[in-house]
Structure 1
Amino acid sequence: MTIFFMVIIGYLLGSIPSGVWIGKFFFKKDPRQFGSGNSGTTNTFRVLGKTAGTTVLLMDILKGTLATCLPQLLHSDINPLWIGLAAVMGHTFPIFAGFKGGKAVATSAGMLLGYQPLFFIYSASIFIFSLLITSMVSLTSMVSAVLITLSTFVLPFIWPTVLPELDWLLIIIACGLTIFIFIRHRENIKRILNGTESRVPFGLGTKKK
Structure 2
Amino acid sequence: MGRMMPELVSPATTLGLWALIGYLIGSVPSGVIIAKLMGLGNLRDIGSGNIGATNVLRTGSKKAAALTLALDAGKGLAAVGLALAFVGPDAGQVAGFMALIGHCFPVWLGFRGGKGVATFYGVLFGLVWPIGLIAAIAWLATAAISRLSSLSALVAAIAAPVAAFIGWPDVFFLMVVLCALIFWRHAANIRRLMAGEETKIGQK
| TM-score, reference length from structure 1 | 0.84
| 8 Å CA contact 1:27, 1:48 repeated in 2 | no
CA–CA distance in 1 between the matches of 2:94 and 2:18?
A: 9
The reply on whether 1:149 has 2:150 as its aligned counterpart is: no
CA–CA distance in 2 between the matches of 1:40 and 1:67?
A: 18
Which residue matches 2:169?
A: 166
| 8 Å CA contact 1:23, 1:48 repeated in 2 | no
Which whole-Å deviations, capped at 9, do the CAs of 1:127-181 have from their partners, x for residues lacking one? 1111111111111111221122222222x2xxxxxxxx422xx211221222222
Unmatched runs of 5 consecutive residues or more in structure 2: 1-12
Paired residue secondary structure (2:115): coil
Which residue matches 2:106?
A: 94
Q: Cα distance 1:39–1:133, how it changes in 2: closer, same or farther (>3 A)? A: same
| C-alpha deviation, 1:22, in angstroms | 1.0
| C-alpha deviation, 1:24, in angstroms | 1.8
CA–CA distance in 1 between the matches of 2:77 and 2:193?
A: 31
Q: How does 1:1-209 map to 2 (within 5 A)?
A: 1-76=13-88, 78-154=90-166, 156=167, 165-167=168-170, 170-201=171-202
Q: Cα distance 1:44–1:4, how it changes in 2: closer, same or farther (>3 A)? A: same
| C-alpha deviation, 1:199, in angstroms | 1.3
Count of residue pairs the alignment pairs up: 192
| Structure 1 runs, 4 residues or longer, greater than 4 Å off | none
Paired residue secondary structure (1:78): helix
| 8 Å CA contact 2:97, 2:178 repeated in 1 | no
Identity %: 34
C-alpha RMSD over aligned residues: 1.9
Which whole-Å deviations, capped at 9, do the CAs of 1:70-122 have from their partners, x for residues lacking one? 22332456341111111000000011222111112111110111111222122
| C-alpha deviation, 1:46, in angstroms | 2.0
CA–CA distance in 1 between the matches of 2:83 and 2:149?
A: 32
| 8 Å CA contact 2:106, 2:113 repeated in 1 | yes
